[in-house]
């Protein structure tokens, strides 16, 4: 019985360690943004490429809310110009 408990605990720890070190969201790059922001039902995946990504980045320019503060760095990471500092909330 102890052996089964040890195997179960070891498996749970291994799964927990793997989950903690492997993000399900790919990094933003090459004109695409990928990130998770707070949504009404939990984390919301934001993924946009090309013209859609440029439009989203432009729409967040100048905002200082939590979502914009997460999206704008992803835009810069993807090589999308964000137009400078955030000045508006």
- CB 45 within 8 Å of CB 25: yes
**Residue 49, both tokens:** 């490429």
Which residues are paired to 33 by β-bridges?
A: 48
Instruction: Give the pLDDT of residue 64.
Output: 92
Which parts of the chain have pLDDT scores under 70? 12-26, 84-89
Instruction: Give the pLDDT of residue 89.
Output: 44
3-state SS, 69-84, equals HHHHHHHHHCCCCCCC
Instruction: Give the pLDDT of residue 19.
Output: 52
Instruction: Give the pLDDT of residue 6.
Output: 84
- Residues 6 or more apart in contact with residue 48 via CB below 8 angstroms: 32, 33, 55, 56
Question: Strands 42-49, 32-39: parallel, antiparallel or unpaired by DSSP?
Answer: antiparallel
CA distances from 75 to 14, 23, 36, 67 (A): 34, 19, 13, 12
């Amino acid at each position: 019985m102890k052996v089964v408990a040890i195997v179960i605990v070891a498996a749970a720890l291994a799964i927990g360690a793997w989950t903690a070190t492997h993000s399900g969201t790919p990094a933003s790059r090459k004109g695409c943004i990928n990130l998770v922001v707070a949504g009404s039902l939990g984390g919301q995946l934001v993924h946009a490429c090309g013209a859609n990504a440029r439009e989203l980045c432009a729409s967040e320019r100048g905002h200082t809310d939590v979502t914009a503060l997460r999206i704008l760095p992803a835009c810069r990471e993807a090589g999308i110009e964000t137009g400078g500092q955030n000045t508006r909330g």
